[in-house]
């Protein structure tokens, strides 16, 4: 499998503390009236916009990259409109007359795409950064069981995962295209109920989803983000778990465009789980990564 990564060594222009000191002592900043939370978000965004390299790599026959242009953002919103509004009715298509599905969190997010060999967008996901708007999952559900929850600047929420209808393996596949990889007992379409059965284990990996989650992993490492939220249907939770991305339920299931459950995890948890149970997938995540970001337990 081609893991070719096209990213330069991840280096911040400023260390977070030095950058914050610069902001607090600069005369032009002192004339700006803003809250501590708003200033912290400003630091976060400057680190994102200036101090890190854009993510781009190849995996199999696809290219994965961080969205870096207005045209590519429009293609992301177009795909989301087709999947979330037209195909599955998750959103009302009449709310998006321009046929671009967007919301108030997009300007506070890092977006990623999967491109096919014709440079067409066939998959997308976003990671929402800490901002004054908070995280959608915290508005939708009461978070009660998030143990060792860090400060919000170290958390991202992963959402708006979508795969083009042309790339889903079966008619029964949902918007994430994971049903083909799961038994019926976990919301999939396979007749095989035993997850340890070699017939189900030999199924091809969901390359689009794994590639998008690698992009999120690399960007989190760049930004110093250690934890993730998601609120989703159970079958995506099971599919991610199957391929080493372990999440823990942190609140009650809610009615949120259908039944959705809030989950959280840390990259440390995922790395250690993959090291023990999916070493090939951990190798995939780490391939091309600057040594300063590798898990310390592998040193």
The predicted pLDDT at position 287 comes to: 94
163, 157 Cβ separation under 8 angstroms = no
Which stretch of DSSP H or E encloses residue 73? Answer: helix 70-80
The per-residue pLDDT string of the chain (299 residues; one tens digit each, 9 = 90 and over) reads: 445 544 433 333 333 444 444 444 444 445 555 555 555 555 555 555 555 689 999 999 999 999 999 999 999 999 999 999 998 888 999 999 999 999 999 999 999 999 999 999 999 999 999 999 999 999 999 999 999 999 999 999 999 999 998 887 665 565 555 555 555 554 445 555 444 555 444 456 889 999 999 999 999 999 999 999 999 988 889 889 999 999 999 999 998 777 899 999 999 999 999 999 999 999 999 998 999 999 999 97
In order, the DSSP letters of 158-199 are EEEEEE-GGG-SSTT--TT--GGGSBGGGT--BS---TT-HH
The predicted pLDDT at position 2 comes to: 47
The predicted pLDDT at position 28 comes to: 44
The predicted pLDDT at position 191 comes to: 56
- CATH classification of 66-298, choosing from 3.90.170.10, 1.10.540.10, 3.40.50.720, 3.40.630.30? 3.40.630.30
Distance CA 108, CA 3 (A): 29
| Pairing mode of beta strands 227-232, 259-266 | antiparallel
């Amino acid at each position: 499998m081609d893991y070719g990564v096209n990213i330069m060594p991840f280096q911040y222009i400023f260390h977070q503390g030095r950058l914050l000191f610069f902001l607090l002592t600069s005369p032009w900043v002192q004339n700006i009236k803003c809250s501590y939370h708003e200033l912290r978000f400003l630091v976060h965004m400057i680190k994102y916009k200036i101090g890190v390299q854009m993510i781009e790599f190849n995996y199999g026959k696809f290219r994965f990259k961080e969205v870096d242009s207005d045209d590519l953002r429009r293609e992301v919103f177009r795909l989301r409109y087709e999947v979330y509004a037209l195909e599955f009715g998750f959103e009302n298509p009449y709310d998006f007359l321009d046929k671009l599905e967007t919301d108030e969190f997009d300007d506070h997010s890092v977006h990623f795409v999967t491109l096919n060999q014709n440079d067409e967008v066939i998959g997308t996901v976003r990671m929402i950064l800490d901002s004054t708007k908070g995280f959608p999952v915290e508005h939708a559900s009461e978070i009660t069981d998030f143990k060792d929850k860090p400060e919000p600047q170290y958390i991202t929420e992963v959402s708006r995962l979508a795969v083009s209808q042309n790339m889903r393996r079966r008619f029964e596949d949902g918007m994430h295209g994971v049903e083909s990889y799961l038994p019926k007992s976990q919301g999939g379409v396979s007749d095989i109920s035993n997850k340890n059965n070699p017939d189900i284990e030999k199924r091809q990996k969901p390359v689009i989803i794994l590639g998008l989650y690698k992009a999120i992993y690399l960007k989190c490492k760049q930004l110093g983000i250690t934890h993730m939220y998601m609120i989703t249907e159970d079958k995506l939770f099971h599919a991610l778990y199957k391929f080493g991305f372990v999440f823990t339920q942190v609140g009650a299931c809610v009615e949120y465009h259908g039944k959705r459950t809030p989950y959280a995890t840390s990259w440390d948890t995922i790395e250690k789980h993959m090291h023990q149970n999916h070493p090939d997938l951990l190798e995939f995540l780490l391939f091309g990564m600057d040594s300063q970001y590798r898990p310390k337990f592998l040193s």
